[in-house]
Amino acid sequence: MQASFKTTCCYCGVGCGIVVQQDRQGRLQVSGDKDHPVNRGMLCSKGMNLHYTVMDTSDRLLYPEMRYNRQMARQRVSWDQALDRTAAVFRTLIAQYGPDAVAIYASGQCLTEEYYVLNKLMKGFIGSNNIDTNSRLCMSSAVAAYKMALGEDAVPGCYDDIELADCIFVAGANPAWCHPILWRRVEAARAANPALKIIVSDPRATQTCSIANVHLQLNPGTDIVLHHALGRWLIENNYTDNRFIQQHTEGFATYREAVMQRSIAEAAAICGITEAAICEAAAYMSQAKGFISMWTMGLNQSAVGVRKNLSLINLHLITGHIGRPGSGPFSLTGQPNAMGGREVGGLANLLPAHRVLDNPQHRAEVQAFWGGATISPKPGFTATEMVEALEDGRLKAIWITGTNPLVSLPDVRRAEAALQKARFVVVQEISNKPETLRYADVVFPAAAWAEKEGTMTNAERRISYLHKITNAPGEALPDAEITCRFAQKMGYHGFNYQSAAEIYAEHCRLTAGTHIDISGLDYATLQAQRSVQWPYPKDTAHTGTARLFTDHQFYTPSSRAIIHSFDDGNTSAPISPTHPLILTTGRIRDQWHTMSKTGKVNKLKQHIANAFLEIHPDDARQRHIAQDDIVEIFNAQGSVRVKAKLSASIKKGVVFLPMHWGKILQNDLHRANNITHALIDPISKQPDLKFAAVQVQRY
């Protein structure tokens, strides 16, 4: 007999619906869910092969492990032994150095329930805000910009807007590879409406550019200059929505002044593109009845990431393309549940339901609800700040869960040296591959996708329920259960949940009355409806919310959206005669992050099997580099050694490395983050992963 389950893909923020068939032997097979509103039956290569990551348990961590000192090897222990020891060490360090001596570094892959209990544990009971996640490397600039412009971290639109738009601007993203099913919808929309204009800005001519009307192949770091030039053209040619600006925004006069500082010709020269291309793109925007912008890491992972985001959102605010069908700024979430994590407040500066730490009333509300320790107003360490705090000894213990920072953090050798200094490291993982395990004093084996239940929220605010389909191997446990067992060992009340549904119900109650109110939701509703978009308040007539701000009332104190003004400079560490090339990093089509899951699926290696350096033929020729030569890419941070791939599709002066590969056979020479900068955006604290000055030579 076969069993069939409807669940959700756990890779990217598109959030595709999946049907899992389980046969009598327990083997799984996946297919796209034809009834799901996101993917309508389609799956990309990663989603189609998801079942292999569960059925192949050869790399799975099966039992808790522990060691008493760094000289001894870790040994298998019971859950009680591992949790008792961890709780004892945490208690001792907290008593001796205070709660800020410990930290949790989690993941946008965590389910909402897992995020919720981790956040509650750290902020509500340990009494520190030292919990951050790899979402800091992914979406934090977009979060900060939404808050500054719209009053809250609230994505206004939905995927259905794609079919209603007649102009889509993809800024610093390659959704054809990184959000493939979303891009299939854009391609289908173009096929149905050949008049749909697509603009792409990217230093690389990626697969996404293949259907672009105009590709703005700009120099890295010049996005604000470009967005200001587009704004200037729209203002000068009277294509702004003056009524909308007057009634629903603040700050236009200053913005107008700022964008008029630079002529479009000047902007074109800085961006390294033609003036005609900027005018063509602006003209497409001006003619659109529905205008969407989509962006990801090209804008977010920057020393001026928040400004890049704001300068793009400004184009919507001056044209009134927000809060109506077919229009809106649309940040494409990288990870499957980065948005769910933000909903529960799972970053070092947030509290549940989009409350904030620096608001005493928000702290009091959450504290009263949880009934634990006093919530500190002091923001916790963010991802890169945790590295600094480990380096200088402020942080003594770190618990890393569901992420592999020794591949994904910038300037990763520094992060590795910092982790070595930690007095106590806990690693909670599904796989025995991640580099962090080498430093772990305690290992908690975790259940993977399909081995636990919970919820996730995708890029369009759509919350989906994920089924438990099969048992985890060995003694691996669902992450939320591990956290709750640890909290009980610490003597904290309020973690005695009987099920994931109970955790979710508590999270929903805490959202009541906020802008992300989902007090009307529970597992039964989600299982029946399959997925819903927040808000979803306790109101029997409510069916979810496709679009926000349809009344043009924003979540700012004045209810007006704020048009921010600033200069257009980039603050990345500049290129120099010794390091004259700009390195940008990114994803390839068939791998996911640090390859813990996709790396073990043979079919996914067929697309691109090894790390490579993409370099323009002119830059290669100058350095006597031929196709497939081994090249060394280096700067003050370190070096990377991979094969060269010559390509005229990358802008001259720019080189590209995929971010997925880590240490292979103890050789870290494929790891792109050996040579990225730990420079961060001053507001979002998101690292500048898209801009590092490097030199390249034949090895």
Reduce the secondary structure of 619-648 to three states and give it as a string: HHHHCCCCCCCEEEEEECCEEEEEEEEECC
Q: Which of 119, 109, 125, 139 is nearest to 454 (CA)?
A: 109
Looking at the Cβ atoms of 47 and 473, the one nearer to ligand SF4 is 47
Cα(590)–Cα(45) distance, rounded to whole angstroms? 6
Q: Are 583 and 694 in contact (CB under 8 A)?
A: yes
Looking at the Cβ atoms of 181 and 611, the one nearer to ligand SF4 is 181
Q: Which of 6, 15, 375, 440 lies at the binding interface for ligand SF4 (CB under 6 A)? A: 15
Looking at the Cβ atoms of 31 and 545, the one nearer to ligand SF4 is 31
Report if residue 11 touches ligand SF4, rule: CB under 6 A.
yes
Q: Which of 14, 155, 229, 480 lies at the binding interface for ligand SF4 (CB under 6 A)? A: 14
Looking at the Cβ atoms of 176 and 230, the one nearer to ligand SF4 is 176
Cα(438)–Cα(65) distance, rounded to whole angstroms? 12
Q: What is the per-residue binding string for ligand SF4 in 548-567, x denoting contact by CB under 6 A?
A: --------------------
Q: What is the DSSP letter of 361?
A: H
Q: Shortest gap between Cβ of 389 and ligand SF4 (angstroms)?
A: 34
User: With CB under 6 A as the contact rule, which of the stretches 14-22, 201-209, 291-299, 416-424 interacts with ligand SF4?
Assistant: 14-22
Rg (CA), the chain: 24
Cα(318)–Cα(320) distance, rounded to whole angstroms? 6
Name the helix (H) or strand (E) containing 601: none
Q: Which of 6, 7, 9, 230 lies at the binding interface for ligand SF4 (CB under 6 A)? A: 9
User: With CB under 6 A as the contact rule, which of the stretches 4-12, 206-214, 437-445, 649-657 interacts with ligand SF4?
Assistant: 4-12
Q: Are 513 and 493 in contact (CB under 8 A)?
A: no
Q: Shortest gap between Cβ of 127 and ligand SF4 (angstroms)?
A: 37
Residues in 18-57 at the binding interface with ligand SF4, rule: CB under 6 A: 39, 43-44, 46-47
Interface with ligand SF4: number of residues (CB under 6 A): 14
Cα(328)–Cα(322) distance, rounded to whole angstroms? 4
Looking at the Cβ atoms of 228 and 462, the one nearer to ligand SF4 is 462
Residues in 159-198 at the binding interface with ligand SF4, rule: CB under 6 A: 179-181
Residues in 404-433 at the binding interface with ligand SF4, rule: CB under 6 A: none
Report if residue 466 touches ligand SF4, rule: CB under 6 A.
no
Looking at the Cβ atoms of 560 and 587, the one nearer to ligand SF4 is 587
Looking at the Cβ atoms of 39 and 637, the one nearer to ligand SF4 is 39
Looking at the Cβ atoms of 12 and 216, the one nearer to ligand SF4 is 12
Backbone angles phi, psi at 7, to 5 degrees: -145, -160
Q: Shortest gap between Cβ of 592 and ligand SF4 (angstroms)?
A: 7
Report if residue 601 touches ligand SF4, rule: CB under 6 A.
no
Looking at the Cβ atoms of 130 and 591, the one nearer to ligand SF4 is 591
For residue 409, CA distances in Å to 25, 105, 298, 477, 541 come to 40, 12, 16, 27, 45
User: With CB under 6 A as the contact rule, which of the stretches 8-16, 190-198, 364-372, 658-666 interacts with ligand SF4?
Assistant: 8-16
Cα(350)–Cα(132) distance, rounded to whole angstroms? 10
Report if residue 126 touches ligand SF4, rule: CB under 6 A.
no
User: With CB under 6 A as the contact rule, which of the stretches 6-14, 260-268, 568-576, 609-617 interacts with ligand SF4?
Assistant: 6-14
Cα(221)–Cα(172) distance, rounded to whole angstroms? 10
Q: What is the DSSP letter of 124?
A: I
Residue 644 — left, alpha, or beta (φ > 0 → left; ψ -120 to 50 → alpha)?
Answer: beta
Paired sense of beta strands 28-32 and 17-22, if any: antiparallel
Looking at the Cβ atoms of 39 and 401, the one nearer to ligand SF4 is 39
Q: Which of 6, 7, 16, 554 lies at the binding interface for ligand SF4 (CB under 6 A)? A: 16
Q: Are 496 and 478 in contact (CB under 8 A)?
A: no
Cα(85)–Cα(75) distance, rounded to whole angstroms? 13
Cα(50)–Cα(533) distance, rounded to whole angstroms? 25
Looking at the Cβ atoms of 47 and 329, the one nearer to ligand SF4 is 47
Q: What is the DSSP letter of 518?
A: -
Residues that bind ligand SF4 (CB under 6 A): 9, 11-12, 14-16, 39, 43-44, 46-47, 179-181
